[in-house]
Amino acid sequence: MTHDELQAMLASDERHWWYRGRRRVLRAELDRLPLAPDPRLLDAGCGSGRTLDELARYGRVSGIDLSPEAVAAAHRRGHRDVRVGHVERLPFPDATFDVVTCLDVVEHTPDDRATLAELRRVARPGGLLLVTVPAYQALWSWHDEVNLHYRRYDSSSLRAAARAAGWDVVGDTHFNSLLLGPAAAVRVAQRRRRRHTHSDLDLTPLRLNGVLELPLRLEARLLASGTRLPAGLSLLAVLRRPALREPRRAEADLWRADGPRHHRLRRRSSVTSSIADGSVRATSTVP
């Protein structure tokens, strides 16, 4: 992204409704997935490290970002294992992490399949990747131009890129659904304003944060219950690195859950004890 957009992101990722809402969605998905005891987690494209604060609830965290300013901000938050680097060339050994998150980063890279393959390299067999991307190429606007995006996605294009990179697709869902209509209208209007030079971060004043975050709060609750949202401004996919010598299972096996994490703690040992070798299974289904 441009220097101005980076500064806007670093200034707003703590309070802006979009970042706050996306973190809620991320937590809702993580809480539905079986995780290894004391997992290692990587946030690829970690920005200022605010998402690392959330991931630290689950295990040991590492981060990487292209911007030295962002990495310095993450260090100030107390995250020591955060490095400057490219997501296409991660400075970590093979099979290091149980969980990788890559939030609104893949669309910034020229070759998304190569990027997803590199993220797969550092995931352990049976490890998970949670990736978010902007949805619908038809909504391409100055927001994408300013942020130096290469593409937007639909479910089929993201799944195809993931499979080509060697991932199994556990499941996907849209989010930021309730604001899709208004945002689409804004994007169409932007195409007629050739002098627009900023992304959407500057369109909503801070005083509206609470109101604009409400839809994402609701959506996070729906996702936590197992609901898949069929449309929205963003797309989230859960991918899994196939385990060695493992028979291929239905893609939705890990996507199924029986509710919030605290209801599953008594059974967690039976689910998580084999995540390292990829033999984990979900034990219930979404209605």
pLDDT band for position 7 (50/70/90)?
Answer: low
pTM: 0.80
Beta strand segments in the chain, E: 40-44, 60-65, 82-84, 97-103, 123-134, 168-175, 234-240
Pairing of strands 168-175, 234-240: antiparallel
User: What is the rounded average pLDDT of the residues 252-271?
Assistant: 40
Q: Would you state the pLDDT for residue 23?
A: 95
How far is residue 256's CA from residue 53's CA, in Å, rounded to a whole number? 26
Q: Would you state the pLDDT for residue 260?
A: 40
User: What is the rounded average pLDDT of the residues 202-230?
Assistant: 84
How far is residue 262's CA from residue 216's CA, in Å, rounded to a whole number? 22
Per mean pLDDT, which range of 7-21, 97-111, 119-133, 179-193 is the poorest?
Answer: 7-21
Mean residue pLDDT across the chain: 82
Q: Would you state the pLDDT for residue 273?
A: 35
Burial of 205 (0-12, 13-18, 19+ CB in 10 A): exposed
Which one is predicted more confidently, 253 or 61?
61
Q: Would you state the pLDDT for residue 287?
A: 29
Which one is predicted more confidently, 274 or 210?
210
- Give the percent of the chain with pLDDT over 90: 62
Decide yes or no: CATH 1.10.3720.10 for domain 3-270: no
* 123 phi, psi to nearest 5 deg: -85, 145
pLDDT band for position 162 (50/70/90)?
Answer: very high
- Rounded to a whole number of angstroms, the distance between the first and last alpha carbons of the chain is 41
Tell whether the model's pLDDT for residue 12 goes beyond 70: no
User: What is the rounded average pLDDT of the residues 35-62?
Assistant: 96
Which one is predicted more confidently, 167 or 270?
167
Q: Characterize 76-97 residue by residue with b for buried, 16 or more Cβ atoms within 10 angstroms of its Cβ, and e for exposed.
A: eeebeebeeeebbebebeebbb
Angle at 28 between CA 226 and CA 203, to 5 degrees: 115
pLDDT band for position 96 (50/70/90)?
Answer: very high
Which residues are within 8 A (CB) of 182 and not within 5 positions of it... i.e. 6 or more apart?
none
Q: Would you state the pLDDT for residue 98?
A: 98
How far is residue 244's CA from residue 186's CA, in Å, rounded to a whole number? 47
Which residues are within 8 A (CB) of 231 and not within 5 positions of it... i.e. 6 or more apart?
135, 174, 177, 180
For residue range 172-214, what is the model confidence (pLDDT) as tens digits? Answer: 999 999 889 888 887 777 666 655 555 555 555 566 677 888 9
Tell whether the model's pLDDT for residue 104 goes beyond 70: yes
Tokens 């084999």 -> residue: 274
Q: Would you state the pLDDT for residue 188?
A: 73
- The 8-class DSSP code of residue 139 comes to G
* 108 phi, psi to nearest 5 deg: -85, -10
Contact (CB, 8 A) for 99 and 35: yes
